[in-house]
Amino acid sequence: MPGAGLERATARSSAECSPRLSYPGIPAIQIVRNLSLSFQIIIGINKMIEEFFQKVLELKNVPRQGWKEKLEIVNPESVAEHSYSTAIISMILSDLEGLNSEKIIKMALLHDLTESIIGDIIPGSITKMKS
């Protein structure tokens, strides 16, 4: 008889056959869904990091407004240049004073990050309503 002695084949998904996806009591489809969600979270985090880096890079193109408007300097330093020099000065002074240099340097580097979005606003140039 043709096919005698052969067991009948059953259709199984590749996820069900994979030893890496074989966890007692957890259906393979649930494991695949959890992995998919994990990858989506990782992709979302990577996108946020990419956007953050882009904002940091934009600081090179934001001129310091106070220098332009109050001091009438034609080619003022950028916010990135200001943040860098502030960080260097902060590093040296915090070391000399025995302060938490790591925290102070981070503050110096990040203190003007919002200016990549809203621009460099000089004190007194914005009304209380707008703030």
Task: Return d(Cα 90, Cα 100) in angstroms, integer.
Answer: 10
With b for 16 or more beta-carbon neighbours within 10 A and e for fewer, the 98-127 pattern comes to eeebeebbeebbeebeebbeeebeeeeeee
- 52-69 per-position pLDDT tens digit: 899 889 889 888 887 777
Quick one: pLDDT at residue 34? Answer: 78
Could you tell me if residue 19 is inside a domain? no
Could you tell me if residue 39 is inside a domain? yes
Could you tell me if residue 9 is inside a domain? no
Quick one: pLDDT at residue 9? Answer: 47
Quick one: pLDDT at residue 108? Answer: 93
Could you tell me if residue 22 is inside a domain? no
Q: Which CATH number fits the domain that encloses residue 65?
A: 1.10.3210.10
Q: How many structural domains is the chain composed of?
A: 1
- 70-118 per-position pLDDT tens digit: 788 888 899 999 999 999 999 999 999 999 999 999 999 988 888 877 7
Q: Could you tell me which residues are beta bridge partners of residue 78? A: 63
The pLDDT of 49-53, averaged and rounded, is 90
Could you tell me if residue 31 is inside a domain? yes
Could you tell me if residue 10 is inside a domain? no
Print the domain residue range for 80. Answer: 27-118
Residues in CB range of 59: below 8 A, 6 or more apart? 78, 79, 80, 83, 112, 113, 115, 116
Q: Are 78 and 56 in contact (CB under 8 A)?
A: no
Task: Return d(Cα 87, Cα 55) in angstroms, integer.
Answer: 18
pLDDT at 19 over 90: no
Q: Which residue has the higher pLDDT, 32 or 103?
A: 103
Could you tell me if residue 110 is inside a domain? yes
Could you tell me if residue 67 is inside a domain? yes
